[in-house]
Structure 1
Amino acid sequence: MKAQSLEAYNTPYALRSVPVPTLNSSSQHSVLIKVDAASYCHTDAVLAAGQLPPFPPSFPHIGCHEFAGTVISTSPGSSLRAGDRIGVPGRALNACGTCFECAAGPTADDPDADEPGYSVSCLHAGNNGISAPGGFAEYAVVDERQVAPLPEGMGAVDAAVLMCAGVTIYAALKRCRLAPGQRVGILGCGGGLGHLGLQFAVAMGLRVLGVDNADGPLQLAREVVQGRERARIVDARIEDAADVVTQVGQEDSKLEKGEKGLDAVIILPESQKAFDYGMALLKNHGRCVVVSFPEKGFHVSAWDLVFRDISVIGSLVGSNKTLREMLQFSAKYGVRAHIRTFPLSKLNELVNEYHKGQGGKLVIDMSLQDEDC
């Protein structure tokens, strides 16, 4: 089969012919799929640059942890069948089923967790595209417990981007714990996660404020929310957070400083300025959900935590239960990413486009040939 692999940090991908992988004989959950679409994620760029130290890959390494495909064969007893169309998030490949994460199940703090026996936070699991081969290949071996069936009518290209970007921003919105009518801010609203988050938030009945600071992403964000009364896009280069809070307070007829602002914000960029802007948008007792993970971290004001009672929490991805819910939600409300597609042979061109920062998502469509581009 053909596969694109990294052979060292900070080098282009290399297109190689490699053996088709075989089912994991030690796992009753092993599934071989034909990859139909593979989406490029920010974490792919971080890994390729050698900035993901907890998960050093073994070179050569086949990346991509958000992809979709068709089942070819399974281990005995699997609930999946050849021909099933599935989406694959990279996390929790071969989860152990017995560590405290796998054994926990739903709790009051995490009601969306999977039932005991499997967890995306398994201490001993691998990750397709990070510690194990991923979707930048014609075939891949996955764990049936991590995958989700695709809704009727949803194509592989649309589904692939939802396997990380989609479930991550959907789960982050749920962790904001907001009711319809409350306000949420999405920092980095024109990026891959951000423009999906705008759509999810509006469909959830939230009033959403999208913030970005580059022309391409801002244009995409405005297109996504055009005609939506509950959504507003802010250019952080020309509007101060304090001015935005004042405007929001006037709209909500709030008089006191601490009660003006947003109920929650989600931080997507790896930028201290974006983090500070988001914190400044929050009303007292607001919630800041951090999705990004800059190498040097964020500086957090103790004043915000103590005197304003701001909660700061992290959010990585959602459970398999949340993944399936998100897919059905996307199908019901027509949530779709802005996507540009490339054939497998042009993965390096895709990466070059990614670094231009124009927003949306970039996807390898396995049905494309070079002449289709």
Structure 2
Amino acid sequence: MATKNVPDQMKAQVLEEYNTPYTLKTLPTPQLTSENDILIKVDAAGYCHTDAVLAAGQMKPNPPNFPHIGSHELAGTVVAHPESPSAAAESVPIGTRVGVPGRGYHVCGTCFECKSGNEDDVGYSNRCPNGLSNGLSKNGGFAEYAVVDARQVAVLPDSMTAVTAAPLTCAGVTIYNALKRCRLNSGQRVGIIGAGGGLGNLGLQFADAMGLRTTAVDAADGPLQVVKSLGTKASIVDARATSAEDVVQQVGKEDKKTDRADMGLDAVIILPESQRSFEYGVELLRNHGLCVVVSFPENGFQVSARDLVFRDISVVGTLLGSRSTLQEMVAFAAEHNIKAVSRTYSLDKLNDLVDQYNKGEGGKLVVDMALT
């Protein structure tokens, strides 16, 4: 194994059972087991809603093995290659800074998703049912070192810090891909429901840079303050005080339309897990509009057949994005200086980070290894 000053042991925050705090431990540094493996020194690791879902024992049907190291959105520096590296591993030399998403570790290459090339290159798919996910079905980024699949990663531009990059590898690529799924042209209207959260605040910035007219919806003081702090062109809506119908009527006035069927937004993206948020978003749509679902509540969403049949509303889901979409998004974010509104913590303060997350004040929370 070709390495660069890699110690035998590392510090890691470990989840030892559900609904318990993380425990800071000293563990063996993980080893490379595949030609596609690379070892990275973790520079930053984001905390995502899915980390909270996993820690609460709600990650079904594939729960983790304990003890478990979380975080599936991380950024780091390549420090080791296997003895016989694949072309993918060789494409990221030691010293390369990379962003790493969760899905796509050790995909099988032979299943329908891998062979179809629907989103990724033929032979690799982050939707592969046989692959693992960093921080979920395998150990992730809340540690000084992590083994990742070289085929997963995006090379980071010199101008982008690790703290900026880490949230982009999950929250960023997910909302960027959701906006792409909307298939809108510059000047068309999109709504982001849950706009002040980790995905939402990035989505508002992406939408602005894409030239979309955005309606930012949230229903809590902290997230709404995050939205306001961004300074985007989005129309900001407090769903506690303004009905969806009132928003539609205002949009109709701005667009000089009087036919209710043609009033409203062209697409909405649903980020919260509540049924009310879903219904609010769908009500914002004009006829033939598109609802893109990102969240996955345990009991799902109830969809009105009347909206589907009489208004021709379409509902689709989206998951992360392909390798090419990840690299495209990183370049787009760097070009337009898009960064998540974030707060950083040292690795040993991860439980403080979790406490802050549970307050629901919006933005992203990131472990910055430089603070450790």
Shorter-chain TM-score: what band? Answer: over 0.9
Which residue identity does 2:47 align to in structure 1?
Y
* 2:72 counterpart of 1:65: yes
Q: Does 1:20 align with 2:23?
A: no
Kindly state the Cα deviation for residue 324 of structure 1 after the two structures are TM-superposed: 0.2
Matched-pair contact (CA < 8 Å) for 1:44–1:63: yes
Which residue does the alignment assign to 2:11? 2
The match for 1:158 among 158, 164, 179 is: 164
Q: Distance in 2 between matches of 1:159 and 1:220?
A: 19
Task: Render the CA deviation track for 1:126-183: whole Å, top value 9, x for unaligned.
Answer: 0110010000000000000000100121010100010100000000000011111100
SS at match of 2:367: strand
The 5 Å alignment of 1:232-251 reads: 232-251=235-254
**Aligned position for 2:321:** 318
Aligned to 2:94: 82
Counterpart CA distance in 2 for 1:342 and 1:158 is 14
SS at match of 1:325: helix
Match in the other structure for 1:303: 306
Determine the structure 2 residue equivalent to 1:109. Answer: none
Q: Which amino acid in 1 is paired with 2:59? A: L
Encode CA deviations 1:36-84: one digit per residue, 9 max, x unaligned.
Answer: 1000000000000011111210000000000000001113242221100
- The 5 Å alignment of 1:1-373 reads 1-24=10-33, 27-75=34-82, 76-77=85-86, 78-106=90-118, 113-224=119-230, 226=231, 228-229=232-233, 231-369=234-372
TM-score, normalisation: structure 1: 0.95
Query: Could you tell me which amino acid in structure 2 is paired with residue 254 of structure 1?
Result: K
* Amino-acid identity (%): 64
SS at match of 1:266: strand
Q: Secondary structure of 2:103's partner?
A: coil
Deviations 1:212-233, CA, capped at 9 Å, x for gaps: 0000100110111x2x44x111
Cα shift readout 1:315-368 (whole Å, capped 9, x = no counterpart): 111001000000000000111111111110010000000000111100001110
Give 3-state SS (helix, strand or coil) of 1:164's partner: helix
For these two proteins, the number of residue pairs brought into alignment is 358
* SS of aligned partner of 1:221: helix
- Aligned-residue offset at 1:295: 1.0
Amino acid at match of 1:22: Q
SS for the counterpart of 1:92 is: strand
Letter in 2 for 1:33: I
Structure 1 distance, partners of 2:92, 2:202, is 29
3-state SS of paired residue (1:132): coil
SS of the aligned residue for 1:237 comes to coil
Amino acid at match of 1:9: Y
- Superposed CA RMSD in Å reads 0.8
Query: After the TM superposition, which parts of structure 1 deviate over 3 Å for at least 4 consecutive aligned residues?
Result: none
CA displacement at 1:93 relative to structure 2: 0.4
| Contact residue 74 and residue 80 of structure 1 kept, 8 A | no
Q: Distance in 2 between matches of 1:233 and 1:54?
A: 37
Tell me by how many angstroms 1:86 deviates: 0.3
Distance (Å, rounded) in 2 between the aligned partners of 1:295 and 1:360: 23
**Unaligned stretches of 5+ residues in structure 1:** 107-112
Find the aligned partners of 2:345 and 2:187 in 1 and give their Cα distance. Answer: 39
In structure 2, distance between residues paired with 1:178 and 1:55: 35
